[in-house]
Amino acid sequence: MTQNEAPTRRNPATKALVSAAIGGVIGFLMVSAIIKWTKAAQLGDSHLILAGVGGVYFLIGLIVGLGTIMPKAGAQLLNVEDRGELVEQRSGLLSSSLVNVLIGVMLIVLANSGKDGLVPPLIALTTVALTIIVGFVVTWSSWKHYDELMRQVSWEASTIGFGLVTITVLVWGSLTINGMAPPFDAFLMIALVMGMMMLGAFLAAGLRGMLNPR
């Protein structure tokens, strides 16, 4: 390839800032949509928090999924070296994107269910069941497409996430028992577990240097 044919690459720091700005705008629109088009905000803070966590899962899955389907555009937005990396990891990325989108939908549905909620119990529970089943099948079938590094990061993410959940529940539960903190309701508990698992994934990737701007 000649010098004239060499592809130009955006500065990693600039790329990270642009991606963060775009993500912030999309996130704002997502939160606005949740507040406007669902009943989560009216049902209480715990409902809104759960819906917010679901929105993050949904957006991550949607952005990564679309970026993988359109690798040329995805390479400009996602934290990858080039479009070749997206093409190479296409199967695993699409699988994880689908699972994240499903989890996001499930959490938003749950946030709008329960007493005075928009979503009937049957639909809410069916959504949970389908998400668990489809998520398990997709994750199991895509595991063989992961390289050794991705498998290790997945295990580390699960371990860190579980540890964060355990510590938070233990500390908060101890405070609640002694009258120093309000008890968790079911919505906050689900938001806590899913939020900590997401945080665990980011921490595991960060410890491996996978979040460094590229």
How does DSSP assign 38-58, residue by residue? Answer: SSHHHH-HHHHHHHHHHHHHH
47-60 confidence digits (pLDDT tens): 999 999 999 999 99
Q: How far is CA 210 from the centre of its chain?
A: 16
Please report how many Cα atoms fall inside a 13 Å half-sphere around the Cα of residue 145, on the Cβ side.
15
Q: Does residue 214 form part of some domain?
A: no
Q: Does residue 133 form part of some domain?
A: yes
Q: Does residue 3 form part of some domain?
A: no
Q: Which of 17-21, 26-30, 108-112 has the lowest mean pLDDT?
A: 17-21
What DSSP designation does 111 have?
H
Supply 134's token pair.
Answer: 């489809």
Length of the chain, in residues:
214
Rounded Cα–Cα distance for residues 111 and 116 (Å): 11
Report the chain's C-alpha Rg in angstroms: 19
What is the rounded average pLDDT of the residues 82-91?
Answer: 81
pLDDT at 6 over 50: no
Q: Does residue 5 form part of some domain?
A: no
Using CA atoms, how far residue 134 sits from 31, 130, 138, 162, 201, in Å, is: 26, 6, 6, 22, 20
Domain with 34, as residue range(s), is 12-207
Supply 115's token pair.
Answer: 């007493």
What is the rounded average pLDDT of the residues 20-26?
Answer: 83
Rounded Cα–Cα distance for residues 51 and 56 (Å): 9
Give the rounded percent of residues in the chain with a pLDDT score beyond 70: 95
Q: How many domains does the chain have?
A: 1
The residue among 164 and 147 whose pLDDT is bigger is: 164
Using CA atoms, how far residue 83 sits from 67, 148, 158, in Å, is: 9, 21, 28
96-124 confidence digits (pLDDT tens): 999 999 999 999 999 999 988 899 999 99
Give the residue among 95, 71, 90 at the shortest CA–CA distance from 82.
Answer: 71
Give the rounded percent of residues in the chain with a pLDDT score beyond 90: 48
* Sign of CA pseudo-dihedral 63, 99, 153, 92: negative
120-137 confidence digits (pLDDT tens): 999 999 999 999 999 999
Q: Does residue 213 form part of some domain?
A: no
Q: What is the pLDDT of residue 200?
A: 94
Rounded Cα–Cα distance for residues 133 and 69 (Å): 24
Q: Does residue 81 form part of some domain?
A: yes
Q: Does residue 150 form part of some domain?
A: yes
Q: Does residue 4 form part of some domain?
A: no
Q: What is the mean pLDDT of the chain?
A: 87
